[in-house]
């Protein structure tokens, strides 16, 4: 499945490591699109740390633990692709700080996970696994496995995303009433597929069955606990095919022992495989070894999806499934690349012009014009890339620049001004009580600087190559003196941009064949000088 490269590729991925058993179509698609693929399974943490340094990308399922140590060792890594939904096994924060995209396949295992949830709900209602094991033991206990119908019962669905929706529509066909809770999906949306939303406090007492479909995060850890079980109907049955820990396992065991909970279907556990077998061995618990995505169809879909998502990103077509790099989603047009270049260049130019050695504390970015209405996010990140780039081990990019700024104590604000026909970006930074400001635009596909510290240039400065900025009082000898100094240093003047104003201190810009070795020679001629290569 080869994709055509029709646009500029924002990210270069040449080598990918697949560290787990992923459907063969994943490797085939990546290779067909010019990406080298190595498959190495069952690596220890130390093996992965030693191996990962040679790759631009890593594809995993759920077993590989991509920890901060692994990410630290990954000198070239640009993307971590999770062939599945959750990213619990990836240290997303560590990846973000290093500017690495973390991507999952949000819909690859939706149907399989929903079907397993429905299977567990039905098995709980009719004791199917227990009856099957009894038969294998040579018994015929019809009375022992008396069940209940699903028809007319109330199913509470906590988490109404893709999987929650599919569970709802399937269980409605059994005649179940579906109610639910979700802090994101609007009630009017879930109402269209037959789920009445309500608060958890309202939901707990109504349910005959409860199934959870949320990510595992601080707000969902232990969502079903002693307190919430006490609010439920006596004998409520629960299912967890999402993430271990959403249901408090100790509280669940207590609820089962007291018969407050009548049964549980568990596909996931806090520790996998679980060493504490109390839950697994309980007679009213049906358990599976994390089989939610374990179907041929889901594995093929996830493998294909992650490969195509990576290829589409590399080819500059689109960005799907990025959990930490939403800012990149609107950067897949040729026009956006020029604006990104403008933002980075303005940031670099402003940083070079700050005379103080103190770090900047505040940055304000204002995008202007209808063409940048939806671009302020990536423009802000691009400006911060230019401001933060200093040649150290920290490598700012669009993914991590705002995180790095926050860690450095820099306050970043952004605004957008509509109504202007021509797009522009204005940046102001504060350093040690002083402010520096620049305004730029893109003209004819080229990023240009229009204004620097209140000096409006007669002709826009092309933000390419080696640029020398200096502040001086306009005078006839100024240009010949600067030209002579450059000639003495063996540097050619390739362009010259003068301010429109002809009085007072003004900023000038000179395009150079190479950067000056020493700006000190300019001191007798100018009040301030800076140079940058963009």
Q: What DSSP assignment string belongs to 41-97?
A: -S--HHHHHHHHTT-SEEEE-SSS-B-HHHHHH-SS--EEEESSS--TTB-HHHHHH
The predicted-structure confidence for 390-438, as pLDDT tens digits, reads as follows 755 568 999 999 999 999 899 999 999 876 667 899 999 988 778 999 9
Cis peptide leading into residue 273 (ω within 30°): yes
Q: Quick one: what percent of the chain has pLDDT higher than 70?
A: 96
Instruction: Kindly report the length of the chain.
Output: 534
* Residue of 32, 201, 271, 272 marked active site: 272
**What is 183-212 written as a DSSP string?**
SSS-HHHHHTTTEEE--HHHHGGG-SEEEE
d(CA 85, CA 95): 17
User: Does the structure show a pLDDT above 50 at 9?
Assistant: no
One-letter-per-residue 3-state SS of 417-463: ECCCCCCEEEEEEEECCEEEEEEEEEECCEEEEEEECCEEEEEEEEC
pTM: 0.77
* 353-370 average pLDDT score: 83
Task: Give yes or no: 243 in active site.
Answer: yes
pLDDT for 260: 98
Residue 521 is classified by DSSP as G
Name the pLDDT band for 357 (thresholds 50, 70, 90): low
Name the pLDDT band for 37 (thresholds 50, 70, 90): very high
Residue in the block written with tokens 């700050």? 354
Name the pLDDT band for 11 (thresholds 50, 70, 90): confident
Angle between helices 162-172 and 110-126 (to 10 degrees): 40
User: Does the structure show a pLDDT above 70 at 122?
Assistant: yes
Residue in the block written with tokens 């103190």? 358
Cβ proximity of 368 and 440 under 8 Å: no
CB atoms within 10 A of CB 203: 22
Backbone angles phi, psi at 495, to 5 degrees: -160, 160
* Residue of 213, 243, 301, 337 marked active site: 243
Beta strands 57-60 and 154-158 are: unpaired
* b/e per residue 299-309 (b: at least 16 CB within 10 A): bbbbbbbbbbb
Backbone angles phi, psi at 286, to 5 degrees: -105, 125
Judged by phi (left if over 0) then psi (alpha if -120 to 50, else beta), residue 140 lies in: beta
Higher pLDDT, 426 or 357: 426
End-to-end CA distance of the chain: 38
Nearest in space to 391 (alpha carbons), one of 514, 520, 532: 532
Q: CB within 8 A of 101, min separation 6: which ones?
A: 11, 78, 79, 80, 95, 313, 322, 324, 325, 328, 399
CB atoms within 10 A of CB 73: 16
User: Does the structure show a pLDDT above 60 at 219?
Assistant: yes
Token digits for 462? 């092309």
pLDDT for 7: 47
Cβ proximity of 264 and 256 under 8 Å: yes
Token digits for 434? 């002083």
d(CA 88, CA 90): 6
pLDDT for 356: 58
Task: Give yes or no: 2 in active site.
Answer: no
User: Does the structure show a pLDDT above 50 at 314?
Assistant: yes
Q: What angle do CA 50, 53, 57 make, to 5 degrees?
A: 120
pLDDT for 337: 87
* Residue of 290, 301, 337, 426 marked active site: 290
d(CA 310, CA 103): 9
Please name the residue ranges forming H helices in 321-375: 334-353
Question: CA torsion angle for 112, 113, 117, 122 (degrees, to 10)?
Answer: 10
Name the pLDDT band for 340 (thresholds 50, 70, 90): very high
């Amino acid at each position: 499945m080869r994709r055509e490269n029709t646009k500029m590729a924002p990210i270069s991925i040449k080598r990918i490591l697949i560290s787990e058993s992923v459907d063969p179509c994943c490797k085939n698609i990546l290779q067909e699109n010019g990406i080298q693929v190595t498959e190495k399974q069952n690596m220890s943490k130390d093996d992965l740390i030693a191996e990962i340094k040679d790759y631009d990308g890593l594809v995993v399922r759920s077993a590989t633990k991509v920890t901060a140590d692994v990410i630290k060792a990954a000198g070239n890594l640009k993307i971590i692709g999770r062939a599945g939904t959750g990213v619990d096994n990836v240290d997303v924060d560590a990846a973000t700080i290093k500017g690495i995209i973390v991507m999952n396949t949000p819909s690859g295992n939706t149907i399989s996970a929903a079907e397993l949830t429905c299977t567990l709900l039905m098995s709980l209602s009719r004791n199917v696994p227990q009856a099957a094991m009894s038969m294998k033991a040579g018994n015929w206990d019809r009375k022992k496995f008396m069940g209940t119908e699903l028809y007319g019962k109330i199913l509470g669905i906590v988490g109404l995303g893709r999987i929650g929706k599919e569970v709802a529509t399937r269980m409605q066909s059994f005649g179940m009433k579906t109610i639910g809770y979700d802090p994101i999906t609007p009630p009017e949306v879930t109402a269209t597929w037959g789920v009445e939303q309500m608060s958890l406090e309202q939901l707990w007492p109504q349910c005959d069955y409860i199934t959870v479909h949320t990510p595992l995060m601080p707000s969902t850890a232990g969502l079903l606990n002693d307190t919430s079980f006490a609010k439920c109907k006596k004998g409520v049955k629960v299912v967890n095919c999402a993430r271990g820990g959403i249901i408090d396992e100790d509280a669940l065991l207590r609820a089962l022992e007291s018969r407050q909970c009548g049964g549980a279907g568990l596909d996931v556990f806090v520790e996998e495989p679980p060493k504490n077998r109390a839950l697994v061995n309980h007679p009213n618990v049906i358990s599976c070894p994390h089989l939610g995505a374990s179907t041929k169809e889901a594995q093929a879909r996830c493998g294909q999806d992650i490969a195509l998502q990576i290829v589409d990103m590399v080819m500059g077509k689109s960005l799907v499934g990025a959990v930490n790099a939403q800012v990149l989603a609107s950067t897949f047009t040729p026009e956006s690349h020029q604006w990104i270049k403008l933002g980075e260049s303005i940031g670099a130019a402003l940083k070079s012009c700050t005379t103080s050695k103190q770090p900047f504390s505040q940055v304000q970015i204002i995008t202007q014009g209808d063409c940048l209405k939806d671009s302020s996010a990536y423009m802000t990140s691009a400006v911060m890339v230019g401001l933060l780039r200093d040649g150290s081990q920290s490598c700012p990019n669009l993914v991590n620049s705002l995180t790095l700024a926050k860690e450095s104590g820099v306050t970043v604000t952004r605004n957008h001004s509509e109504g202007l026909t021509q797009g522009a970006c204005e940046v102001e930074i504060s350093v040690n009580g002083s402010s520096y400001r620049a305004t730029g635009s893109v003209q004819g596909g080229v990023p240009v600087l229009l204004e620097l510290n209140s000096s409006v240039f007669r002709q826009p400065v092309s933000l390419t190559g080696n640029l020398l900025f200096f502040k001086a009082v306009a005078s006839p000898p100024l240009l010949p003196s600067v030209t002579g100094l450059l000639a003495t240093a063996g540097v050619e003047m390739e362009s010259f941009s003068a301010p429109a104003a002809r009085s007072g201190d003004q900023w000038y810009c000179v395009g150079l064949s190479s950067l000056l070795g020493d700006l000190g020679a300019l001191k007798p001629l100018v009040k301030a000088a800076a140079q940058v290569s963009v």
